[in-house]
Chain A
Amino acid sequence: MQFGLLLVTASIAFMVYEAVAGDSSHPDITVQVDATVPTSSGFLVKFRAVNAGGSTVEGLAIEGVLRNGSDVLETSDTVLEWVPAHSEREGGLFFSADPRQYQLQLRAKGYENP
């Protein structure tokens, strides 16, 4: 019983707190490589997109560019459906060359407001 009261009031209070004092800063996305593994047709780069900002993004486009010096070898991209505020989501990009041999750059390209 007391438990129910605690849950109801705590969640309402938390939402009001988030509304009043919560972080509503712009999305702040960093994409980091978790692992690079060989697959049967090339290589897989597993990444993690971390949203340090206070706004949720929808349809976040992630692009990975593989360079050899100044030459672009390959480009792969994907879309993460949602990355909520202060949360992270994982994904993967496929390449045919081994990303560990060259310079790989991962970045977030754009998003939509929910």
Chain B
Amino acid sequence: MPHDRAHSKPSSAHAVDLAHDFGGALLFSFPLLMTMEMWWLGFYMDRYRLALFLTLAFIVVVALSYFEGADETFRIEILDALVACAVGYAVASTMLVLFGIIKPGMSADEIIGKISLHAVPGSIGAILARRLLEVEETKKERQRRKWYGAKVFLMGVGAIFLAFQLAPTEEMVLIGHRMTEWHAVALAILSLGMMQAFICSVERSGRQRLFAADFFWGVFLRYTVVGYSLALMISLYVLWTFGRLDGAALAEIIMATLVLGFPAALGAAAARLIL
């Protein structure tokens, strides 16, 4: 990749970019690298679901590269996404070997499953690092991100990110079992209220009055409701991917989705603030 941007940047800048990528990949993937359910999922999860998950994750990384990247052409954004993926794989395989989670005597299926699953948060982290560690925001980037679809997409990324951190654990289903329907309704209301608070603070420009009815309901309908339903759909998808819903009754599925929907909603709302 370095030679592709050689016309615009000195090589030391590429080294800094790459260091940022590695930093971001580590920062975003280490909680999952240290979660035992994630190691197990690497070898026992359904291979079709893993292949689908890896494909969707790659599309998300490319799209993030487009919305977060300062570069001019779509081709360079794809190259950036591929670099981020390579960094994700490098970080995942290094850390899994260092932690003794990949050892001799394991099959190729187990090793490749573990590495490719752990490479996903690393790749997303690597691409986000550009945005989080470099303060500059180009005019082109601002323009791309002003589009409504881009805002919804970024909410989705935040939801995927936090849902992905928690969905592998047994607690999502366990908490669902402990809650009654009333708890679930209260949790859904809290999730919506929290998202509304976050997004109002982001959408407010200048002297906009926070509690003006049209502004409040505009944000609620345009972002909060859309973001929360997106968070719930992503929660459902991630739980299904990790086999958490296999053999579960409908009520159990809804409960687990609502439980995971809470962190997913938090991620979606916070993404607007952070990304």
Contacts and interface: CB of A to CB of B under 8 A. Distances in A.
A89 to B, nearest CB: 8
B112 to A, nearest CB: 5
Interface in B57-100: 58, 79, 81-87, 89
Interface stretch (B43-51, B132-140, B257-265): B43-51
Contacts of A84: 43-44, 106-107, 109-110
Interface residues of B, number: 34
A11 B112 contact: yes
Contacts of B43: 56, 82, 84-85, 87
25 contacts: A1-B1, A1-B83, A3-B82, A4-B83, A4-B85, A7-B85, A8-B54, A11-B54, A11-B89, A11-B115, A11-B116, A12-B51, A12-B54, A15-B50, A15-B54, A16-B51, A19-B47, A19-B48, A19-B51, A22-B47, A22-B109, A82-B43, A84-B43, A86-B110, A87-B110
Interface in A63-88: 82, 84-88
Interface in A15-54: 15-16, 18-19, 22
Contacts of B46: 19
B106 A15 contact: no
Contacts of B113: 15
B200 interface: no
Interface string B187-224: 00000000000000000000000000000000000000
Contacts of A86: 107, 109-110
B45 to A, nearest CB: 9
B85 to A, nearest CB: 4
A114 B40 contact: yes
Interface residues of A, number: 25
Contacts of B48: 15-16, 19
Given A11-B115, A19-B48, A85 B109 contact: yes
A8 B56 CA distance: 11
- Give chain B's interface secondary structure class: helix
A77 B175 CA distance: 33
Top 10 A-B residue pairs of the complex, sorted by shortest distance between their CB atoms: A4-B82, A4-B86, A19-B47, A86-B107, A11-B116, A15-B51, A84-B43, A1-B1, A114-B44, A4-B85
Interface string B1-45: 100100000000000000000000000000000000000100110
Nearest to A48: B105
A1 B110 contact: no
Contacts of B173: none
Contacts of B112: 11, 14-15
B89 to A, nearest CB: 5
Nearest to B85: A4
Contacts of B143: none
